[in-house]
Amino acid sequence: MPTNKQLAITAFGEPGTLQVVESELPAPGPEQVLVKVAFAAVNPIDAKTRAGIGWAAEQNKDNLPWVPGYDIAGVVVDSGCHEEAFEKGDRVTGLIGFPLGGGAYSQYVAVDASLLSSVPAGVSLATAAALPVCGQTAWQALEKAKLADGEKVLILAGAGGVGHLAVQLAKARHADVYATCSQANCDYLSDLGISVIDYQASGLGNYQAFFDVIIDLVGGETGINALGALNGKGRMITVPTVTKDAVIAEASQRGLHADGMLVSPNRWQMDRLLTMAETDELTVEIANTYSLEKGADAHRDIMTGRTRGKILLEMPQ
Ligand SMILES: NC(=O)c1ccc[n+]([C@@H]2O[C@H](COP(=O)([O-])OP(=O)(O)OC[C@H]3O[C@@H](n4cnc5c(N)ncnc54)[C@H](OP(=O)(O)O)[C@@H]3O)[C@@H](O)[C@H]2O)c1
């Protein structure tokens, strides 16, 4: 009888508090399938929660050990579904347990079939696992900003997990796309066909009141400083939840519009993202893949705040 290896937060603190735990396989409920996970993605929120910061930590503080993670891609191995939405052997991906449930850092998950999308033949499970949180966050941020054809949009942190997808989705909407990054990522982002601003060399001084839309993926002082680059009718979506109130308050003081967001699972958007990946309209960058046992190193990596694209965890097979 196989067991389910999971990487759990055993106490709030340093990455070393992540420990592999083993339990029985979960049984899929009537509307669920059992997925053998190939890859889970690592997001900054996972490291914040592990450190005891934010809403998911507050809500789960009496619920440790708690298994983090919201992105999975893998293969259906069992089904409790009456409707047979998926069959054994189907390759699937999805955004699960957001924000309080988590659970993606697992060999097996029982998950509502309604949360899953089929992974097209031309898309690897690694690529699929990188898309749910970041792809849908990028999509929903641009949607919330009502980014229109020809508008000038600035993505702060264009090289990160959300950013590298947001710049490509904004381009697909025929916007005039700019992004900030460090010197190390300038060529990478230029090759995606956008205008690049090296925040270490020049900053936004030449872009005062220039942008129609800013997607702020850094937050805090960086988000506040970027408000000067927003034109009077512009819209900023500030994505990091921890600093959103401060950025929105400052925007309001200056008579500018800023708003926050919280990603929510949308299967139609997920299906579109997968199709775009299959047809090479969307290129997914994977910086590093760690084994489940090396999850603490994956957290150290994401905590640098400097990773390009996504960090993945590969489950033991
Ligand atoms: N509200 C929601 O629903 C939601 C959903 C998803 C993510 N988030 C939040 O959104 C933020 C971004 O997430 P992510 O997954 O994209 O993070 P990430 O992958 O960790 O972002 C890393 C990137 O940030 C760039 N960066 C760091 N400091 C920068 C600065 N001052 N200016 C410009 N770029 C900078 C780095 O590029 P360089 O090395 O070139 O500096 C790096 O490529 C996080 O705070 C995350 O928690 C919120």
Cα separation, 104 vs 313, in Å, equals 10
Map out the domains of the chain as residue ranges: 3-131+284-314, 134-259
- Sign of CA pseudo-dihedral 270, 272, 275, 276: negative
Q: State pLDDT tens for residues 94-126.
A: 999 999 999 999 999 999 999 999 999 999 999
Atom of ligand 1 nearest to the CA of 164: 16
What is the residue whose two structure tokens read 């904004």? Answer: 170
- Ligand 1 geometric centre to CA of 34 (Å): 32
117, containing H or E segment: strand 116-118
The pLDDT of residue 83: 66
Q: State pLDDT tens for residues 29-78.
A: 999 999 999 999 999 999 999 999 998 999 999 999 999 999 999 999 99
The response to whether residue 274 sits with its C-beta less than 6 Å from ligand 1 reads no
CATH number of 3-131+284-314: 3.90.180.10
- Ligand 1 geometric centre to CA of 62 (Å): 29
- Ligand 1 geometric centre to CA of 159 (Å): 8
The pLDDT of residue 80: 86
Nearest to 184 by CA among 306, 311, 312, 44: 306
Say what percent of the chain tops pLDDT 70: 99
Say if residue 81's pLDDT is above 80.
Answer: no
- Sign of CA pseudo-dihedral 20, 102, 29, 266: negative
The response to whether residue 277 sits with its C-beta less than 6 Å from ligand 1 reads no
The response to whether residue 156 sits with its C-beta less than 6 Å from ligand 1 reads yes
Contact between 313 and 72 (Cβ < 8 Å):
no
CATH number of 134-259: 3.40.50.720
Q: Residue 2: pLDDT band by 50, 70, 90 thresholds?
A: confident
Q: State pLDDT tens for residues 178-197.
A: 999 999 999 999 999 999 99
The response to whether residue 241 sits with its C-beta less than 6 Å from ligand 1 reads yes
- Ligand 1 geometric centre to CA of 240 (Å): 8
Closest C-alpha residue for ligand 1 atom 44? 240
Q: State pLDDT tens for residues 130-159.
A: 999 999 999 999 999 999 999 999 999 999
| Residue of 143, 288, 306 to mutate, ligand 1, most atoms within 8 A of C-beta | 306
The response to whether residue 161 sits with its C-beta less than 6 Å from ligand 1 reads yes
Say if residue 210's pLDDT is above 90.
Answer: yes
| One fold for 3-131+284-314 and 134-259 | no
Atom of ligand 1 nearest to the CA of 159: 43
